[in-house]
């Protein structure tokens, strides 16, 4: 899958992430809610126990035979404090107003010496409390505790002692409920996730079906062929708008393509006509001058008349040959090569094309004696001869002391490669993109149609031509084409 994910995948992934994030969020809220409920439960439970114990203490104080004084608290609650512990199932401590222990529900040999004196921080908090009560929360040995402190009043509502109720927060039942609830939620959301995967798959497929069809049509759109319009029904308004815009673009594209093709053909032929006219004018000028000179200087009695007549005739014939070659080059370029399914030996045909050259610096290399491919014999010879001629002209321009042209024929599994390498003048960087253009040439003569014709032939047979050149090292043209059309 590519780095840029498809729309279908993003829709699918978004729906899954939405379900997963919703599940996680609900789980977090559930845990938070259970903790809040646990906090409220323990706080309210301790408050209720405190109120009930204080009512029992008030009842004991009203019915005691001892004077209701702080110093008599140990006597008043000597046995009663154990009854209160049994009734409410909670330990309790009674301190005087200065925080010294008076009585505890624990047996004397179980009393922790640290509890004989009330915490000063708790005493100050209680004294400063507007409600005359205080609840301390702390953790010890991994267990959470709450400890409430409140005043016990005498019959005149004056503070008599301080009641301390230590309370252990037992969350076992609540945690069990939370675990069971989360398990049920997990099963439910796993089932929902499976349903979401199926729904997301089909929904994303339905949403992107029209887009895929539009993508295929747009991918197949070409300027040089007749493009089909998109016909999609039963789709969303946005897709319908896109389809209408594409179909309108196809109509405009066909009109523009027709106009462009006509304009390009007209411009190409106009440019070609200008080039042909220019090239024909070049030999006409020396022909005219030669005729005028011969006309002025013609003397039938001149003893050298025959020699002058021969020179005149040779000049005219040379210029006529030049015009003939121009006409041939134009005709050859204008005529597209016909594809012929001709099975031939590329090695043999290449050697045959090289035999017409008399230069002794043309070298042929091939590791194989036979490479079979389908190509038109005449067109292949034309390709090779044009490349060799181009290399010879490049060497002549450089006037190299050791001229060399190497022709290599190689084959791969399904393609053939022919490279022509020379140590001539090379092609400059600014001209590399122009060498295959019609009428482009760096020579003083010729129409510059040779390489353009080679490229035309090679591309007709589904091949390619590659240029590798520098002014210092010469030029290499590599022609590649498939063995089978």
CATH number of residue 352's parent domain = 3.30.565.10
Q: Is the pLDDT of residue 1 over 60?
A: no
pLDDT value of residue 446? 40
Judge whether 351 and 364 are in contact, CB under 8 Å.
yes
Q: How far apart are CA 485 and CA 482, in angstroms?
A: 6
Q: Which tens digits make up the pLDDT trace of 231-255?
A: 666 666 666 676 777 777 777 767 7
Domain that holds residue 301: 237-334
- Whether residue 364 sits in one domain with residue 319: no
pLDDT value of residue 357? 83
Q: Structural domain tally of the chain?
A: 3
The domain boundary, picked from 155, 175, 195, lies at 175
pLDDT value of residue 69? 86
- Whether residue 134 sits in one domain with residue 21: yes
- In eight-state DSSP terms, residue 411 is E
Average pLDDT over residues 93-113: 76
Q: Which tens digits make up the pLDDT trace of 369-414?
A: 899 998 888 888 888 888 998 888 888 887 777 889 999 999 988 8
Judge whether 410 and 393 are in contact, CB under 8 Å.
no
pLDDT value of residue 207? 67
Which is nearest to 149 in space by CA: 169, 108, 171, 119?
119
* Structure-model confidence comparison of residues 290 and 91, the more confident one: 91
Residue 215 lies in a domain: no
Residue 205 lies in a domain: no
Cα Rg, the chain, nearest whole Å:
53
Residue 195: pLDDT band with limits 50, 70, 90 = confident
- Among 61-65, 137-141, 214-218, name the most confident range: 61-65
Residue 193 lies in a domain: no
- Whether residue 310 sits in one domain with residue 168: no
- Whether residue 315 sits in one domain with residue 365: no
- Whether residue 170 sits in one domain with residue 22: yes
- Whether residue 246 sits in one domain with residue 165: no
Q: Is the pLDDT of residue 199 over 70?
A: yes
Residue 450 lies in a domain: yes
Residue 257 lies in a domain: yes
pLDDT value of residue 276? 63
* Structure-model confidence comparison of residues 2 and 197, the more confident one: 197
Judge whether 312 and 298 are in contact, CB under 8 Å.
no
pLDDT value of residue 409? 94
Q: In what order do the strands lie in the sheet with 415-422?
A: 362-366, 405-411, 415-422, 474-482, 464-470
- Whether residue 131 sits in one domain with residue 37: yes
- Whether residue 378 sits in one domain with residue 327: no
- Whether residue 31 sits in one domain with residue 68: yes
pLDDT value of residue 227? 62
How high does pLDDT run on average in the chain?
A: 77
The domain boundary, picked from 283, 313, 334, lies at 334
Tokens 């809220």, residue located: 29
Residue 354 lies in a domain: yes
pLDDT value of residue 66? 87
The domain boundary, picked from 175, 197, 213, lies at 175
- Whether residue 157 sits in one domain with residue 15: yes
Judge whether 420 and 389 are in contact, CB under 8 Å.
no
Q: Is the pLDDT of residue 121 over 80?
A: yes
- Among 24-28, 147-151, 244-248, name the most confident range: 147-151
Residue 329: pLDDT band with limits 50, 70, 90 = low
Residue 328 lies in a domain: yes
Residue 246 lies in a domain: yes
The CATH number that applies at residue 124 is: 3.30.450.20
* Structure-model confidence comparison of residues 216 and 79, the more confident one: 79
Looking from the CA of 139 toward its CB, the CA atoms found within 13 Å total 3
- Whether residue 385 sits in one domain with residue 324: no
pLDDT value of residue 410? 93
Residue 228: pLDDT band with limits 50, 70, 90 = low
- Whether residue 311 sits in one domain with residue 262: yes
């Amino acid at each position: 899958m590519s780095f840029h994910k498809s729309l279908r995948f993003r829709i699918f992934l978004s729906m899954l992430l939405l379900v997963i994030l919703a599940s996680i969020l609900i789980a977090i809220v559930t845990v938070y809610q259970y903790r809040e409920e646990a906090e409220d439960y323990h706080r309210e439970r301790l408050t209720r126990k405190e109120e009930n114990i204080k009512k029992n203490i008030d009842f004991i104080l009203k019915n005691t035979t001892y004077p209701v004084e702080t110093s008599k608290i140990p006597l008043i609650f000597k046995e009663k404090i154990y009854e209160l512990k049994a009734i409410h199932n909670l330990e309790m401590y009674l301190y005087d107003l200065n925080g010294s222990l008076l009585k505890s529900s624990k047996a004397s040999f179980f009393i922790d010496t640290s509890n004989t004196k009330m915490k000063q921080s708790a005493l100050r908090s209680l004294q400063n409390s507007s409600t005359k009560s205080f609840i301390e929360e702390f953790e010890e040995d991994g267990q959470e505790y709450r400890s409430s402190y409140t005043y016990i009043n005498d019959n005149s509502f004056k503070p008599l002692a301080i009641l301390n109720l230590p309370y252990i927060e037992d969350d076992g039942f609540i945690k069990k409920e939370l675990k069971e609830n989360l398990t049920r939620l997990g099963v439910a959301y796993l089932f929902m996730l499976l349903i979401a995967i199926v729904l997301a798959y089909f929904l994303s497929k339905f949403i992107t079906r029209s887009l895929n069809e539009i993508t295929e049509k747009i991918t197949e759109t070409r300027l040089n062929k007749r493009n089909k319009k998109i016909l999609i029904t039963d789709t969303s308004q946005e897709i319908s708008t896109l389809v209408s815009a594409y179909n309108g673009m196809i109509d405009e594209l066909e009109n523009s393509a027709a106009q462009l093709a006509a304009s390009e053909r007209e411009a190409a032929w106009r440019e070609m006509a200008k080039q042909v006219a220019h090239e024909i004018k070049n030999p006409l000028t020396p022909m005219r001058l030669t005729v005028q000179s011969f006309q002025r200087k013609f003397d039938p009695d001149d003893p050298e008349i025959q020699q002058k007549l021969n020179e005149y005739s040779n000049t005219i014939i040379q210029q006529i040959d030049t015009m003939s070659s121009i006409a041939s080059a134009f005709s050859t370029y204008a005529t597209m090569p016909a594809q012929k399914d001709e099975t031939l030996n590329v090695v043999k045909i290449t050697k045959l094309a090289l035999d017409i050259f008399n230069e002794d610096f043309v070298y042929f290399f091939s590791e194989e004696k036979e490479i079979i491919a389908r190509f038109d014999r005449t067109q292949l010879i034309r390709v090779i001869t044009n490349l060799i001629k181009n290399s010879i002209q490049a060497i002549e321009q450089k006037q190299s002391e050791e001229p060399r042209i190497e022709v290599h024929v190689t084959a791969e599994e399904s393609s053939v490669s022919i490279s022509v390498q020379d140590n001539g003048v090379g092609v400059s960087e600014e001209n590399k993109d122009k060498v295959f253009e019609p009428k482009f040439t760096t020579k003083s003569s010729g129409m510059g149609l040779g390489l353009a014709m080679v490229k035309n032939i090679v591309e007709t047979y589904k091949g390619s031509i590659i240029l590798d050149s520098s002014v210092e090292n010469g030029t290499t043209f590599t022609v590649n084409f498939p063995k089978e059309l």
